[in-house]
Amino acid sequence: MTDVGHKRAIGFVLGLIMVVLIIVIAGAVSSRVIEPPSDRVSVAATIFPVADIVSQVAGDLVDVELILDPGASPHTFELTPRKATRLSNVDRIFAIGQGVDAWAMQVASISDADVVELDQYTTLICEGTCDPHFWLSIPRVIELVDDIAIELATIDPDHADTFTKNAKNYIAELTDVHRTVDNIMLDAPSRDLIVFHDSWNYFAEAYGLKIRGTFEPSPGREPSPKSLAELEDLVTEYSINRVYKEPQLSDKTLEPFVNDQDVEIGILDPLGGVEDRTSYIDLMIYNAHAIAAP
């Protein structure tokens, strides 16, 4: 090899080393910039109370996507393709179970995420079919908070200790709120309730109330003349002077009944996520005040 040829060869090798170094350094820098966001775990929750309860346990370590928009009813909800697409990257889907949010399965099928049905962590009230509205009992929610921490730890093991600690704090807070609600209920003018749809059995169980009648036994379907006649009898039998509607279901058939019976309308909210009910705890306190109102 000539001297010039030799120098060219060295130049070529040095050039090659520089290119390789640039690629390695650029790779290290870009992976340092890009990796952390993709490490972040994200989960979905079917209804607002579940989203808030999971958020309390997750802290700010996990993104919690709410599937059912506040103001909508899980009983009449249909998942849009747009929303399904937005949820395609979640790692878990927290649901109630018992068919109330069966549409969670549609999200699961596009995201490949497991659905965690929280009904497995409490004992349900069953008469033939089981009542899914257990989140409306604070003691029932307390039972499953630790299980949510365990579930989050399986998808984000690095933060397991934080989830356990958050769960413990939230249980302490819920225990206090349960006592507060119990105290508010001491002022309830009546312990006999006629509610809009059949979602208040767990609330009644927790606070010594009796659900005497339900305006829409099938949520979203108008009551039959026969069931309206039965409700009229119950109003008399239990000296009911207030019946309850719910923000998520149309109440236009309730008006004539209320006018005929000379009862007033209160609002019980099983789902929240709106107005002064932007946490599960605020939702429960709101409902206690609604029943305790003079």
- For 12, 15, 20, 89, the CA distances from 7, given in Å and listed in that order, are 9, 12, 20, 54
Q: If binding is defined by CB under 5 A, does position 287 make contact with Zn ion? A: no
- Whether 213 contacts 223, CB under 8 Å: no
CB of 131 to Zn ion, least distance (A): 9
CB of 248 to Zn ion, least distance (A): 8
Residue whose CB is nearest to Zn ion in the complex, by number: 199
Q: Which stretch binds Zn ion (CB under 5 A): 90-98, 164-172, 195-203, 286-294?
A: 195-203
Q: If binding is defined by CB under 5 A, does position 199 make contact with Zn ion? A: yes
Strands (E), 143-273: 192-197, 210-216, 242-245, 264-267
- What whole-number distance in Å separates Cα of residue 85 and Cα of residue 192? 45
Of 57 and 195, nearer to Zn ion (C-beta) is 195
Helix (H, G, I), strand (E, B) or coil at 230: helix
Phi/psi class of residue 208: alpha, beta or left (left: φ > 0; alpha: ψ in -120 to 50)?
left
Of 94 and 203, nearer to Zn ion (C-beta) is 203
Measured between its terminal Cα atoms, the distance across the chain in Å is 104
Of 199 and 287, nearer to Zn ion (C-beta) is 199
**Per-position x/- string for 149-188, each x denoting binding to Zn ion as judged by CB under 5 A, each - no binding:** ----------------------------------------
- Whether 291 contacts 193, CB under 8 Å: yes
**Per-position x/- string for 57-86, each x denoting binding to Zn ion as judged by CB under 5 A, each - no binding:** ------------------------------
Of 99 and 208, nearer to Zn ion (C-beta) is 99
CB atoms under 10 Å from CB of 181, counted, come to 21
CB of 112 to Zn ion, least distance (A): 28
Of 199 and 201, nearer to Zn ion (C-beta) is 199
Tell me the torsion sign for CA atoms 57, 63, 67, 70: positive
CB of 170 to Zn ion, least distance (A): 24
Q: If binding is defined by CB under 5 A, does position 46 make contact with Zn ion? A: no
User: How many chain residues interact with Zn ion (CB under 5 A)?
Assistant: 1
CB of 247 to Zn ion, least distance (A): 12
CB of 73 to Zn ion, least distance (A): 7
Of 162 and 199, nearer to Zn ion (C-beta) is 199
Residue holding tokens 């650029």?
26
CB of 134 to Zn ion, least distance (A): 11
Q: Which residues make Cβ contacts (< 8 Å) with residue 96, sequence separation at least 6?
A: 46, 47, 50, 74, 117, 118, 119, 132, 134, 135
Of 11 and 99, nearer to Zn ion (C-beta) is 99
Residue holding tokens 């309390």?
56
Strands (E), 3-146: 41-45, 62-66, 92-95, 114-117, 126-127, 129-130
CB of 199 to Zn ion, least distance (A): 4
Interacting residues with Zn ion (CB under 5 A): 199
